[in-house]
Amino acid sequence: MNKVVIIDDEPQVRRLLSMVLKSRNYEVHEAEDGPSGLQHIAFLRPDAVLLDLGLPAMDGLSVLKRLREWSEVPVLILSVRDEEALKVEALEAGADDYVTKPFGTAELLARLAVIQRRCFTRQHPEITAGNLTLNLLHHEASLAGDRLKLTPTEFSLLHTLAEHAGRIVTFGQIIRRVWPAQLSDQSEALRVHISHLRRKLGTTGPQIINEPAIGYRLIDS
């Protein structure tokens, strides 16, 4: 059965969603704020998340960003606001789709089905490649037990490579991941960051191999 976590502070919205989804055979779990929502997700490993942007205390965008540090579960954003800026921000932060309240149940279910159509290899909050370990939850990287000091961009870049360790990741894939919705060409910057990463990884850790005109590959050893 499909598990869904709903994060919304309004009980009546949660009840409505819950009813609709249960009638479609979803297993529904509710949370009324960001922190408890994250806990639910970490514990239950749902197949999708419905997230309200307008939460008290910790807003939906922050929840999403935190979530995306360790999980790629499909997220459907719910919001009363119709501001393009917020939509874009949420999409850039890793949301999979966006529904504006009030919404029809048909549209909701259709969009939910779309974002779920992709089946994930569920993600551990930790990635390892050889003697390299990335803790996505805490944004920490360590090499053979020693803590690496990485800048945010470097971490994101290494994350992208490590996630597909051993395989080629194309320049386009990297740039879309590390610099989402950036108009200017980042390939110049990319080379520099690769250079920095290589220095920090040293000769004992995994190596970043260039595949000319295609991309990079992280290999153990």
SS3 content of the chain, % helix, strand, coil (to 5): 40, 25, 35
| The pair of three-digit structure tokens given for residue 191, joined into one six-digit string | 């080379």
| Interaction mask 141-160, DNA, x per CB under 7 A | --------x-xxxx------
Whose structure tokens read 């005109």? 213
Residue from 34, 37, 30, 33 nearest 15 by CA: 30
Least distance from C-beta 30 to its own copies, angstroms? 21
State how far the Cα of 16 lies from the Cα of 114, in Å rounded to an integer. 21
Establish if 207 lies at the interface with DNA (CB under 7 A).
no
Give yes or no for residue 25 binding DNA (CB under 7 A).
no
151 interacts with its own copies by CB under 8 A:
yes
Residue 211 is a binding residue for DNA (CB under 7 A): yes
**The one among 195, 202, 220, 221 contacting DNA by CB under 7 A:** 195
| Residue 213 binds to its own copies (criterion: CB under 8 A) | yes
Q: Which stretch binds DNA (CB under 7 A): 80-88, 136-144, 161-169, 194-202?
A: 194-202
The angle, 0 to 180 degrees and rounded to 10, between the axes of the packed helices 60-68 and 34-44 is 30
Rounded to whole angstroms, the Cα distance separating 105 from 80 reads 15
x/- map, 21-50, its own copies, by CB under 8 A? --xxx-------------------------
